Chain A
């Protein structure tokens, strides 16, 4: 579905960005990206989504409509400040037939009753939930999520992770999920990629063999978590 070959995007004369990333995603595959802060994860998503075109290497997609294959949830909510929650969620769909679906999504992310609030009156987590609903509504073939649940409490987070599982199940959405939460990556992804360094490289990959839906706190996942932590260890060279 998505093949990334030797892609690099370098900033500041080679001191930042990411280098030589090879990656391939099957249709319906969910791949997590873990990595130290500043190792170029957001930059990678920007390059993949087409927002940043100054990269080297090759990106191939096998989508039905290659121009509109990608949907992206940014690291910040990026809500339009002049639109209320509801208008923000349906922003960019343009079609009226999405109304029912948008309403369901708004309910699932727990924003029912806040549809008339402007972004200035939302908490950080509420804004993030509105952004999640907005990016899930357009149903892209390839979904890029940049730390989608970073501002949420543990319980809401679990709820929305299950919402993502539902969507993966129903729509076979190919997904690249950037996160700092190792448990989240192991709970949701088929494969976890670990990036390190400045500029970032792919350090290693861990395949999660267990079938979804998985049990949180599973002993197999706990073992994998140890491996991931070892890979992320800064002090290791």
Chain B
């Protein structure tokens, strides 16, 4: 009651509250359903409605994670998976920038390179695995290459379409200033295609995570993907679910980092997200 009258007298305090509230309530509203489901799951497990050797209770999964973390073996698996994703991501992005920029700027490169890359893109990702293992062995190289292939295509496609979609009107402004080709690229084409490039980076990263799972499922002796296979072979569903959970967490964290970078560098964009 007291706060109500206060809000009525001083509308500014009310305003401050409303600016904080949506964020909080978003988190609350968003976690309502998962939390309920987890509670139902836990109760179903304890009540014996689901068989623990198929679907262990959330608390069992959590215990498993904590024990592994305490024993120290978990960190090695997490570290190697993160390493594969990052190395593959950097490699794939680097190649995509080089080739994407070349096809975007130089007409002849586009005509030579693009049809082949479009055809390669049609190959399902897992089809590469045997070939890479054959060529590069079962070591890190083949896994990182596979991740890089996954990351490459979304980044490449978004970058080229970003470059080709740059507004002709803005390029003409550069021509009026007699920009050299390099200035034109640096001052107009690059910033103008940045939004599309960042979209490519984010979908590239999510594909990178997918490909690391594929690589680790099919031939690894460490990593979160390997933990899943191990859990399957030893009939330890809590291990599989724990790995899925960890993939979800790290996937979310890395995507969030890119998303922050995206909103920060694109605050000039006139879209719904930036509307205030």
Contacts and interface: CB of A to CB of B under 8 A. Distances in A.
A15 interface: no
Contact of A120 (B173, B178, B188, B270): B270
B173 A78 contact: yes
Interface string B151-191: 00000000000000000011011111111000000011001
A91 B175 CA distance: 12
A82 B192 contact: yes
A81 B176 contact: no
A68 B178 contact: yes
Contacts of A54: none
Contact of A74 (B169, B179, B269): B169
A138 interface: yes
A230 to B, nearest CB: 36
Contact of B270 (A51, A81, A83, A92): A81
Main secondary structure of the interface of A (DSSP, over half): loop
A123 interface: no
B119 to A, nearest CB: 34
Interface in B172-225: 172-179, 187-188, 191-192, 194
Contact of B173 (A67, A74, A84, A119): A74
Residue from the set B172, B267, B269 with the largest chain A CB neighbour count within 10 Å: B172
Contact of A78 (B169, B178, B268): B169
Contact of A72 (B176, B268, B270, B274): B176
A49 B178 contact: no
A71 B176 contact: yes
Nearest to B266: A82
Contacts of A82: 191-192, 194, 268
28 contacts: A51-B172, A51-B176, A67-B178, A68-B178, A72-B176, A74-B172, A74-B173, A76-B169, A78-B169, A78-B170, A80-B173, A80-B188, A80-B191, A81-B268, A81-B269, A81-B270, A82-B192, A82-B268, A83-B268, A84-B268, A91-B177, A91-B187, A92-B179, A118-B267, A118-B268, A120-B268, A120-B270, A120-B274
Q: Give chain B's interface secondary structure class.
A: helix
Given A78-B170, A80-B170, A120-B274, A70 B176 contact: yes
From B170, B173, B191, name the one whose CB has the most chain A CB atoms within 10 angstroms: B173
Contacts of B270: 81, 119-120
Contacts of B179: 92
Interface string A68-96: 10111010101011111000000110000
Interface in A129-157: 138
A49 B176 contact: yes
A80 B176 CA distance: 14
A78 B173 CA distance: 7
Contacts of B174: 92
A74 B174 CA distance: 12
Contacts of A76: 169
Contacts of A50: 175
Interface in A90-124: 91-92, 118-120
Closest 8 CB pairs of A and B: A92-B177, A120-B270, A118-B268, A82-B191, A82-B268, A72-B176, A78-B173, A78-B169
A64 B191 CA distance: 33
B195 to A, nearest CB: 9
Interface string B240-276: 0000000000000000000000000001111000100
A71 B178 CA distance: 10
Contacts of A81: 268-270
Contacts of A91: 173, 177, 187
Contacts of B194: 82
A51 B170 CA distance: 12
Nearest to A135: B176
A72 B174 CA distance: 11
Contacts of A138: 177
A119 B270 CA distance: 9
Q: Please indicate which of the listed interface residues B170, B177, B274 has the most CB atoms of chain A within 10 Å of its own CB.
A: B177
Given A92-B173, A118-B268, A138-B177, 10 more contacts: A51-B172, A68-B178, A74-B169, A78-B170, A78-B172, A78-B173, A91-B173, A92-B177, A118-B267, A119-B270
Contacts of B269: 81, 120
Contacts of A51: 172, 175-176
